[in-house]
Amino acid sequence: MAPHSNADVFATMERDGLVPVFNDADVAITKEVARCIVAGGLSTFEFTNRGEGALEVFADFINWARAELPDLIVGVGTVTEPVAAEQAIDLGAGFVFAPSLSSAVAAVCSSRDVPYVPGCGTVTEIHTAYELGCQMVKLFPADSLGGPAFLNAVRAPCPWVRAIPTGGVEPTVASMRPWFDAGAPAVGIGSKLLPKDLVAAGDWDAIEQRIAAAVAAVEQART
């Protein structure tokens, strides 16, 4: 059984307006970043399934997070194969993100009642995702699809589409506001929110401050 209901996961993403995306082979670093995410005011964490042994790191991390950060909803991203989806869900993933759309992954997530948010780049892919039972999609790579104008154009005839742009979005009012104005419930941001140099330096105070500033920017961008 999923640790959170689908409704809770989507409501939390929409409430926060920002889903942080991160991956590191060092579980200790991942834990520190997660602490910063929560302290900065966010409630979801997408751990990308990237690199050899990523799911092993995720297994260690999510067990720790359950005890230390119980209110944090932890999911796995970059899931393109059904086996990886099954493994992530077995480990306790609260949601599954992907850069592409897979009917096989959708079936796994549906059977386990875990939110699946696939990457889509065309109206047809978005429509197919909804036919497969997805309640939300990811626009990826968002900066290469035409930006907020693309989402505006999609939602004109299909206002029910809920899409999280990821790829090229910056944690600033100027970058996020057009996406929220276009109807995005949230945005996904990785290294532009969690810079590699700050992570490598272990400057957790600076990272926490960046997250808090991003949370404030989301609020301003939505007004």
Q: Is residue 213 part of a domain?
A: yes
CA distance linking residue 2 with residue 49, whole number of Å: 19
The residue segments making up the domain with residue 146 are 6-221
Q: Is residue 170 part of a domain?
A: yes
- Spell out the per-residue pLDDT of the chain, length 223, in tens: 467 899 999 999 999 999 999 999 999 999 999 999 999 999 999 999 998 899 999 999 999 999 999 999 999 999 999 999 999 999 999 999 999 999 999 999 999 999 999 999 999 999 999 999 999 999 999 999 999 999 999 999 999 999 999 999 999 999 999 999 999 999 999 999 999 999 999 999 999 999 999 999 999 999 9
| Residue 12 belongs to domain with CATH number | 3.20.20.70
pTM comes to: 0.96
Predicted pLDDT at 193: 98
Helix (H) or strand (E) holding 189: strand 187-189
Number of domains in the chain: 1
CA atoms within 13 Å, Cβ hemisphere of 181: 12
Helix (H) or strand (E) holding 64: helix 54-68
Helix (H) or strand (E) holding 99: none
Q: Contact, 214 vs 21, CB < 8 A?
A: no
Predicted pLDDT at 2: 60
In this predicted model, what pLDDT tens digit does every residue of 156-215 receive, in sequence order? 999 999 999 999 999 999 999 999 999 999 999 999 999 999 999 999 999 999 999 999
Predicted pLDDT at 9: 98
Q: Is residue 1 part of a domain?
A: no
> Which tokens hold the place of 39?
């302290």
Q: Is residue 193 part of a domain?
A: yes
